[in-house]
Structure 1
Amino acid sequence: MKKIMAVLSVVVLALAGCGNAEKKDEQESASKTETLKVASLIKPMTEILDLVKPELKKEGINLEVVVLSDNVQPNSALAAKEVDANFFQHVPYMEEFNRNNKANLVPIKPIYFANYGLYSKDYKKMDQLPKGAVIAVANDVSNIDRSLALLAQHDAIKLKKKTGPYYTMKDITENKRDFKFKEVDLLMLARLYDDADAVIMTPAYASPLGLTPKKDALVTEGVENDFAITLVARKDNQDSEAIQKLAKAMTSPKVKKFLEDNYDETAIPAFK
C-alpha cells in the first residue's frame, strides 16, 4: 500500500510539474506579446486594421483598434501617448495638427488614396451647377486647400500661385460662376448633400449615401497628389519594431487585393 501511495505521489507531482510548466510557458508567451493601440475612424480604415490583426499576432503583436468619433481625437490621443499610432488622415492634415499643437507626429506609410470628388444631388455635370451655387467643403485648412485645388484642376476656379503651405479662399483669383463655399466640419459633409448644391468629400463619407467617385462624382481628384490616407506615429516611436511590422502588414499583397476587390476606385492602393 505504501508503495502504491508513493507511486501515486510521484505521478501527482509529475502532473503538477507539467501543469506548472505549461502555465509558465503561457505566461512567458503572454509577456512576449506586445499590445499596439491604433486609433481610427471608419471603413475601410478600420477594416484594413482588422485584416492585418492575425498576421501581427503571429509576430507577437496584439493590435488593438481604438475607434473614435471625430477627426480631432485620433491625433490628440496619439500626441498624448494614449495610442501608439493612428490611421485616418493625409499628411497635410497631420502637418497642420503639428503646427497648431507643437506636436511631433510623423508619417510612416501611405496606404491608399481616397479619391476626392464633387457630388451633387440635383446636377449631373460640373457645367450644370448654376451661378452662385453653394459648394460645401471641409472647414480645416488642409481640406480647404484640397477642395480648391480640385476645383482649379477642373477649371471651375483659378488660384494664384501657392506661396504658403495651403491655398485659402483668398487665393481665388477667378470665380466666374460666383460659387459660394460653405465650410463645415469634415464629419458633417454628408449631411449637406441634401441642402447644398454640391459637396466635396472623400469616398468614406460619400459611400454611406450610396455614392462612388466613378459613378456619381461630377469631377474627381485621382492619385497625383499628397493626400494618401497614411499610417501615422510619433517621432519617439516611429522606428519601433512593432510600428514597422504594422506598416509592413498594411502594405502587403493581401491588403492591396482587399482594396482592389472591395473598393475599386474609392480607395486606391498607394503602394505597389
Structure 2
Amino acid sequence: MRNQRRNTKLTAIAAATAALALGLTACGTASDPGAKAVSGDKAAAAGEPLVVAASPTPHADILEFVKKNLADKAGLKLEVKEFTDYVLPNTATQQGQVDANFFQHKPYLDDFNQKNKTTIVPVVNVHLEPLGLYSKTVKSLKDIKAGQTIAVPNDTTNEGRALQLLAENGLITLKDGVGTSAKLSDITDKKGLEFKELEAATVPRALNDVDAAVINGNYAIEADLEPAKDSLALEKAEGNPYANFLAVKKGNENDPRVKTLAKLLNSPEVKKYIEDTYTGSVVPAFGAPAK
C-alpha cells in the first residue's frame, strides 16, 4: 500500500527541530523547506489543498483512503506528508508548514504543548492503536524471567503507558496512583527484569537485541507485526484515553477544510476501512477528544 503513495517526503531542519523539541527525541524527516508555508492565523484561500502531516501507518494510509475515495465528492483537496517521528509533525503544524496533523493521542499532545510552548489542539478522534508487548524469543508472558531485558518507549506518555501494560500483566509492580505518568523510578518491584529506554520509532528494530519490547501500534504494523495476533499482551480498547486524532494549531479549528476532513474521518466508510484493513490491530474510536 505504501508503494502507491504520492506523499512528499520531508528533509531535515535540524536547528529548528532542536530548538523546539526541548528534550523530546526525534528521528527521520522534517518539513520541506521549499514548501509554501500556510499561515496558522489566516483563513486559507478557497481551493487550496489541506496539507496534513501523518505517521506512515496507519495514519497516512487512512488519509490516503479518504483522499482517493471520499475527498473529491466532498470538495476537499487533500495532501498527505509523511513523518517518521513524534516531534516534527507538531512543530511543522505550529510553524504553518502544514495545516494539520494526524499521529498522536491527548496525553502525548498535552505533554508536548507544555514542554514546547506550542498551541496544538485536537479536532476529532479517529482510531486507537493498542500498545503491545512483543518478543522474537519468548512465546508467552510466563516465559519472561528475571535477568531478561524489556525495551520501552522513552517519551513521557508512552513510557508510562508501557509500564502500566507491564504492571497489568504482572511483570512489574508500580507505586500506587502513578497512572500513565509512571517512570522507571516508580517501579517498586522489577521482579529481576532490566529495562532499555529507546525512542518509540526505534523500538521494533531492537527486538533482536532484547528479550521483549513494548511497541506502539503504528510502529508494530510498520514492522510487519500483527498486534492482535503477535503480541504477548495488548492494551484493552474500552475506556482507553489514547485515541489518535486530527489536530491543528489553535485558531484553525473552524477552517472549512478541517471540518470537512474531520467529518470524513468519522464516516462509515472510514470505519469499515479500518475494521477490514487492520482486523483488530487498529480500531475505530470516533468522536470528540477528551477535554
Would you call these one fold, judging by a TM-score over 0.5?
A: yes
- 1:200 aligned onto 2:214: yes
Contact 2:145–2:192, Cα closer than 8 Å, also in 1:
no
Structure 1 counterpart of 2:55, one-letter code: L
Deviation, 1:241, is: 1.9
Moved more, 213-222 or 160-169: 160-169
Aligned residue for 2:153?
138
Q: Does 1:69 align with 2:84?
A: yes
Q: CA deviation at 1:55?
A: 2.6
Identity of aligned residues (%): 39
- Say which of 37, 54, 74 aligns to 2:51: 37
Comparing 184-193 and 52-61, the one that deviates more? 52-61
Structure 2: distance between partners of 1:210 and 1:240: 36
Q: 2: CA distance between counterparts of 1:69 and 1:172?
A: 30
TM-score (norm 1): 0.83
- With 196-205 and 117-126 compared, the bigger mean Cα shift is at 196-205
* TM-score between the two structures when normalised by the length of structure 2: 0.78
Q: How many Å separate the matches in 2 of 1:72 and 1:210?
A: 23
Number of the residue aligned with 1:156: 171
Which residue in 2 is equivalent to 1:147? 162
Q: Give unpaired runs (5+ residues) of structure 2.
A: 1-44
- 1:109 aligned residue: 124
Residue in structure 1 matched with residue 244 of structure 2 by the alignment: 229
2:104 aligns to what?
89
Structure 1: how far apart are the matches of 2:172 and 2:184? 11
Q: 2:140 corresponds to which residue?
A: 125
Deviations 1:96-145 (A, max 9, x none): 11011111111111111111110011111111012021111111011111
Contact between 2:129 and 2:243, CA under 8 Å: does it hold in 1? yes
- Give the distance between the partners of 1:161 and 1:109, measured in 2 at CA: 32
- Kept in 1: contact 2:125–2:245 (CA 8 A): yes
In structure 1, C-alpha distance between the alignment counterparts of 2:220 and 2:277, rounded to whole Å: 15
1:167 aligns with 2:182: yes
Matched residue SS, 1:76: helix
Residue aligning to 2:114 = 99
- For the structure 1 residues 246 and 218, does the alpha-carbon distance in structure 2 shift closer, same or farther, using more than 3 Å as the test? same
Rounded Cα–Cα distance in structure 1 between residues aligned with 2:70 and 2:208: 42
Q: Distance in 1 between matches of 2:223 and 2:71?
A: 33
Kept in 1: contact 2:152–2:195 (CA 8 A): yes
- What residue number does 1:16 align with? none
Q: CA RMSD in A?
A: 1.8
Gap runs ≥5 in structure 1: 1-30
In structure 2, how many angstroms separate the alpha carbons of the residues matched to 1:44 and 1:164?
Answer: 27
- Per-residue deviation, 1:269: 0.5
1:241 matched to 2:237? The reply is no
Structure whose alpha-carbon radius of gyration is higher:
1
Question: Is 2:202 the counterpart of 1:188?
Answer: yes
In 2, Cα distance between equivalents of 1:93 and 1:102: 14
Classify the secondary structure of the residue corresponding to 1:100: helix
- Contact 1:48–1:255 at 8 Å: present in 2 too? yes
Q: Is the 8 A contact 1:32 1:60 kept in 2?
A: no
Q: Which has the higher helix share?
A: 1
**Distance change in 2, residues 1:86/1:148 (3 Å):** same
1:215 aligns with 2:220: no
Number of residues of Structure 1 aligned to a counterpart in Structure 2: 241
In 1, Cα distance between the equivalents of 2:180 and 2:169? 21
